[in-house]
Amino acid sequence: MSRWRYFFKRLLLSVPVLFLTMTFIFVLLRMGPVDPVAARLGPQATGAEAERMRERLGLNDPLWEQYLDFVTSFLTFDLGQSWVVFSGTDVTTIVAITGPPTLWLGFWAILLPLFIGIPLGFYAGLRPNSGGDYLASVSGILWQAMPNFWLCIMILAVLRQTHGGGWLGFDWYTFGPEIRSITGTPDLAFLSINSIETGLITVPLLTGVDWGALAVDIKLILPPALVLGSASMAAELRIGRTAILETINSNYVVTAKAKGLKDRVIIWKHVFRNAMIPLVPVITNEAFLLIGGSVIVESIFNINGLGNAFFQAMTQGDLPLAGALLFIFTLIIIFLNILQDLLYTLIDPRVGYDR
Amino acid sequence: MSLHEHAERTTTRDAPIIEVRNLQTAFFTEKETIRAVDGISFDIRPGETVGIVGESGSGKSVTARSLMRLVDAPGRILEGSSVRFTHLETVREYASTFAGRTVDLSALEETYDPVDLFERNEIDATPAAFGYEHAHEVSLADIVAAGYGDELGIVDEGDCIFITDGTPDSPDAIADGFIEITRLSGEAQRRIRGGRIAMVFQDPLTSLNPVYTVGNQIKEALRLHQGIKGDAATREATALLEAVGIPDARRRVNEYPHQFSGGMRQRAVIAMALACDPELLICDEPTTALDVTIQAQILDLLAELQETRDLAMMFITHDMGVIAEIADRVNVMYAGEVVETADVNTLFADPSHPYTRGLLRSIPGQQTGDRLETIEGNVPTPNEPATSCRFAPRCPEAIDECETVHPVSVPVDEDEPDHTAACLHCPTQLSTDQAVEMHRRRNATRNGGDLE
């Protein structure tokens, strides 16, 4: 089986996963403890009005018909309306508002560990048992051992101290692009998009980037992203170190050396690509965790994101919102899984090879 | 090949291509210093296969890695070791490329006399360590190659090409000289690796990088040493794969190592080693991980390649059967030392060292009784300079003196100078007492006395 056939097979496998999740959400919504009518009209609603609502929500139809309706509407991204948290608002609208900040946070929370954790791990792995290795490894463990909620508060406390040039000697508020508050939702309006009418369809076109706004958005997201990515940074550091050590002692590296290759070529060509193989699942798995972990960080840093919305929907029994968000999370996870398979397929030619 | 070249080849036929003298490689751990290779000497000639046999832990692989300079920390080649690569064309090429690191020894010989140098304190060695009985036999080349030149202020740290006949100013006219492998570093070292000395490793399943195609890994060597790129490199790689007997090479060149079987992979590794037309091929147990039929095929392939390319080969194995098939000369190693050297027929017909006899007896099918005979016990870790025979505790023929006298390599028989053994029972024409006395005297020389 070729690599790409294997990848295509993995792609197909995500379809049953998607249906299983939707079925689970359906069961949760229809058979869960919350009565949709009561949630809409209040617990005292009875009689004709309640009956009309039942009819309107399609609760009197046969279960299989309800299931089909549910699946088709989810697949067409008709995710229904929120009951409680943002009563009456379309879930798609809520996602359009809360999604971008979370994605922005997640993006940086993946990027920072990727570009700090892995290089540090590789550095430590290439110089095992040196001072630099011990420093990187110990700080990695320390960094991982600090719980996110505590780290959030500490970072906030320290950054607040710098307001007006505190004892750290620099002012975070005016350092680089100026910000008024160190918490809050980034507005992400740095892209100016104009639409061109081409008669039939409207094509959105990127017409410019407001670099100042971008800088502010990045500055705002860095502290929470650092906290959110802290655990993965440490994990990637440690696994990167082990992966390098394992690869550098492997026979094919000795073969490469015996061939007379320069150290630089050996490391960049023969060591790095092989060392990346065990890191791929670590990176993508950490990305899954970010979704769950972002709830705490979002509420402490006062970011109005998906995590926050999901948390509220869960605590207030807003089942359609919770279900829809769960569905979106599933989509993200399936996407990450596919990305992981794609990365594997690109890096390792042995993928999908079975005799 | 022109007549002139041919004549030159035949005259240099018997000159060794690599000379190993008193090679010592030790590993420095917190607990102890392990002398994995402890003062071994041998030569390899073009077209010749030198076999190295011994149990696991006798220092065979470390010897190979020392020749390739692949010994990693905490291991290190000690001062006093010398590995001279004497291939004339390479010496000429190096002398013109690395002119700054070339030393004209014939000019230095006029100023320095080895005997005088020995009397100075910087040299922590005696003539015996260089394989001679008297100081006047030691040449300046021996002293400088062994690394004592730096302390005596004769050569600089980076110097590694030594000309003994000719002058560095006209590299093409150099008639004799050598590259001292233990002094190589940087670019000069990398050019030797793969380009002049190539190595085939024990486990073909792990010695190819799994994420690159076989062709890519062969082309890498071609580009590095011969500057062949692109389509020409692909054609050359295909030709190499064909030369090592891989069918359908045109398709195979674009396949990954995991798509090759074990035997095919070893063929691919050999193709890679041959890519740069090396003068010396070191095979470190190349057939150990393969099954017996494939093993025979690989041995045939190596013999064939050796014949067509006039390769010098160093073949490491613990399998006496393989040695009998492929080697011309055999060095038997035990605990970091060469205990017996002989050509292959002599060794099998008339083994002199009790260890060699033990090894031969333990080949299945060679034993006299029902049970397979083995050598009791294990190879000791050579963690101290030898003051006794390291094999004595396991030796069935040990005498009391074996515990107190370290045997040196001596000819087994006066008539056969090429057959040497390090055993107190040798030379055989002497009585045991006389032999022991001779070994004791040689040791005394070694530890600093006789400097005439």
* Structural domain boundaries in chain B: 88-190, 197-326, 331-446
Could you tell me how many CB contacts below 8 A there are between chain A and chain B? Answer: 75
For residue B222, the chain A residue with the least C-alpha distance is: A259
A282 min Cα distance to partner chain B (Å): 20
Measured between CB atoms, does A48 come within 8 Å of chain B?
no
Tell me how close the Cα of A123 comes to any Cα of chain B, in angstroms. Answer: 18
Upstream peptide bond of B74 is cis (omega within 30 degrees of 0): yes
pLDDT at site B314: 94
> Is pLDDT at B241 greater than 80 in this prediction?
yes
Q: Residues of B with CB below 8 A from A349's CB?
A: 210-211, 213, 256, 258
Q: How confident is the model at residue B135 (pLDDT cuts 50, 70, 90)?
A: low
**pLDDT in the model for residue B281:** 93
Q: Do A349 and B211 touch (CB under 8 A)?
A: yes
ipTM of the predicted assembly exceeds 0.90: no
Residue of B nearest to A344 (CA): B211
A 315-354 → B contacts, CB under 8 A: 347-350, 353
Cα(B449)–Cα(B222) distance, integer angstroms:
52
Q: What angle do CA A48, A54, A55 make, to 5 degrees?
A: 90
**Contact between B195 and B89 (Cβ < 8 Å):** no
CATH number of A91-347: 1.10.3720.10
Q: What is the largest CA-CA distance in chain B?
A: 69
* Domains B197-326 and B331-446 fall in the same CATH topology: yes
Say what the pLDDT of residue B7 is: 40
The closest CB to that of B207, out of A251, A261, A350, belongs to: A251
Q: What is the mean pLDDT of residues B128-151?
A: 73
For residue A259, list chain B residues with Cβ-Cβ distance below 8 A: 193-194, 198, 220-221, 224, 272
What is the third-level CATH fold of B197-326? Rossmann fold (3.40.50)
- Among chain A residues, CA nearest to B278: A259
- To the nearest whole angstrom, how far is the Cα of A345 from the nearest Cα of chain B? 11
Q: What are the pLDDT tens digits along chain A (355 aa)?
A: 577 788 888 888 888 988 888 888 888 777 766 676 776 666 666 777 777 777 777 777 777 888 888 888 888 877 777 766 777 778 888 888 888 888 888 888 888 888 888 888 888 988 888 888 899 888 888 888 888 888 888 888 887 777 766 666 666 776 667 776 777 777 776 666 666 666 666 666 666 677 777 777 787 788 888 888 888 888 888 899 999 999 988 889 988 988 888 888 898 888 988 888 888 888 888 777 676 667 788 888 888 888 888 888 877 777 778 888 888 888 888 888 888 888 888 888 887 665 4
pLDDT at A129: 84
Contact status of A259 with chain B (Cβ, < 8 Å): yes
Q: Closest residue of A to B208, CA-based?
A: A252
Q: How many CB atoms lie within 10 A of CB B9?
A: 12
Residue B351 has pLDDT above 60, yes or no: yes
Instruction: Report residue B6's pLDDT band, with 50, 70 and 90 as the boundaries.
Output: very low
DSSP per residue, B169-223: TSGGG--EEEEEGGG--HHHHHHHBTTTEEEE-S-TTTSS-TTS-HHHHHHHHHH
**Whole-angstrom Cα distance, residue B448 to residue B350?**
34
Q: How many Cβ atoms are within 10 Å of A111's Cβ, its own excluded?
A: 12
Alpha-carbon gap, residue B219 to B234, rounded angstroms: 7
B115 token code pair:
């005997």
pLDDT for the residue numbered B104: 81
Residues of B with CB under 8 A from a CB of A: 68, 70, 190-195, 198-199, 201, 203, 206-213, 220-221, 224-225, 256, 258-259, 269, 272, 276
Q: Is there a contact between B194 and A274 if contact means CB atoms under 8 Å apart?
A: no
Query: Do residue B211 and residue A256 have CB atoms under 8 angstroms apart?
Result: no
Class of domain B331-446: alpha beta
Question: Given this model, what pLDDT does residue A192 score?
Answer: 66
> Per the CB < 8 Å rule, is A255 touching B208?
yes
Residue A103's CB: how many other CB atoms inside 10 A?
14
* Integer Cα distance of B180 and B428 in angstroms: 36
Interchain proximity B209–A262, CB inside 8 Å:
no
